[in-house]
Amino acid sequence: MIGGLALGVVMLVIALVVALTGSPNGTGAPAKAVVTAGGTQTVAVTLADMLIAPSVIQVTRGTRLVLHVTNTDAMRHDLVLDTGKKTAMLDAGDSATLEVGAVNKAVAGWCTVPGHRAAGMTLSIVVKGETSAGQASAGHDMAGMASSGAKAPAIDVNAKPGPNWKPYDPTLAPAPGATEHHVTMTVRNTVVEVAPGVRQKLWTFNGTAPGPTLHGKVGDVFTVTLVNRASMGHGIDFHAGSLAPDEPMRTIDPGKSLTYQFVAGYSGAWLYHCSTMPMTLHLANGMFGAVIIDPPNLPKVDKEVVLVHSELYLGPQGGTADEAKIAAEKPDAVVFNGYANQYDHAPIKVKVGQRVRVWVVDAGPSRPTAFHVVGAQFDTVFKEGAYLLKPNNPEHGASQVLDLAAAQGGFVEFALPEAGHYPFVDHAFVDAERGAHGLFEAS
């Protein structure tokens, strides 16, 4: 009886001491906790959905604060404070106790998983009456968006690639004769040259960005084994299939694997990419590729290539993509197949009069593209599952660009009329030095 009464008193004290208000994004988790008494107080903190809840804890000066931190998300998270105190990395369902100590000034906290702080996983601990919770929270959010401080290398468009550089082969291999395709995709942290003298630590599928191109026909079945050999959680999303994302697109921890199976129900030039939040960061750090599903009765051509358009948001030399640049949508360059102007350095060779088909996928994560071959006209345009233009049309019409928003795809066909150099460019990016460039060399 006495024990029950004591428990009731404790519960009443907790109810009086910690008042929870608000709810971010309708999740039911509190946006703000107000601690109205001093001494030692404990506040429950939840990590989930790219949020720390409560995101603001307001305390009386001198209060000794203890955080009971629980990760209720499928992804791993942690909580670190600007005082240097931190939890371990927490798996789904794990909890940890974090002793903040006596609070006499504002303290900032965040999740250290790349991209999570910039996506909103921040915490503000403020002293009542000194700093408004809204101002502290905004300040910490901006701090999370800030660059690392290390200077990104500059891209020199006139420099030559390093001696060990190999261009990404754009050739589209013929679709296998089988109707079932078994593919293993291994995620690794890979240091890659993305422009002459510029190296970045990318998160790659099978060691390249873009990852391998998959090629098939309508009705084919793709069984993909995703293996995570990287240092953080990743997933995968194939736009070429249609299925509930809950299980196949889930994030898997390092050392884990999953099997992803989809049926290619429709033709098109499809994007695949990492499904882990924040997806813009994972895309900007190289986690994308193309799936080409031929329309029925697609005619053969002499030359068939795939160009994946993407953006570089350079971090420091050997580092990962800059989150502040991603948030501001200010890329250092837009590129085809992962390297700045690489087909200027290694032109795509064709014969005069050969029929060329160029598949283009815009991986983004943000910029549109307008693909144009200088000196050529397109007599065939296929975009997002339908022909916009075919040869010998009654209007006797042709096209000058294939315009794509981020995540869209299609192809164009043309023949080069005489020997020479035919640059291809992204007309949607007007800055010539940072725009996507390449070259067809006809002989």
pTM: 0.84
Stretch 153-182: mean pLDDT: 92
Lowest pLDDT segment from 110-114, 222-226, 358-362, 419-423: 110-114
User: What per-residue confidence (pLDDT) applies to 251?
Assistant: 95
All domains of the chain in start order, with CATH: 2-145 (2.60.40.420), 180-442 (2.60.40.420)
Stretch 162-187: mean pLDDT: 94
User: What per-residue confidence (pLDDT) applies to 134?
Assistant: 42
Three-state secondary structure string covering the chain: CHHHHHHHHHHHHHHHHEEEECCHHHCCCCCEEEECCCCEEEEEEEEECCEEECCEEEECCCCEEEEEEEECCCCCECCEECCCCECCCECCCCEEEEEEEECCCCEEEECCCCCHHHHCCEEEEEECCCCCHHHHHHHHHHHHHCCCCCCCCCCCCCCCCCCCCCCCCCECCCCCCCCEEEEEEEEEEEEEEEECCEEEEEEEECCECCCCCEEEECCCEEEEEEEECCCCCECCEECCCCCCCCCCCCCECCCCEEEEEEECCCCEEEEEECCCCCHHHHHHCCCEEEEEEECCCCCCCCEEEEEEEEEECCCCCCCCCCHHHHHHCCCCEEEECCECCHHHHCCEEECCCCEEEEEEEEEECCCCEEEEECCCCECEEEECCEEEECCCCCCCCCECCEEECCCCEEEEEEECCCCEEEEEEECCCCCCCCCCEEEEEEC
User: What per-residue confidence (pLDDT) applies to 31?
Assistant: 78
pLDDT in tens, 369-404: 999 999 999 999 999 999 999 999 999 999 999 999
Stretch 61-86: mean pLDDT: 93
User: What per-residue confidence (pLDDT) applies to 35?
Assistant: 82
Judge whether residue 269 has pLDDT over 70. yes
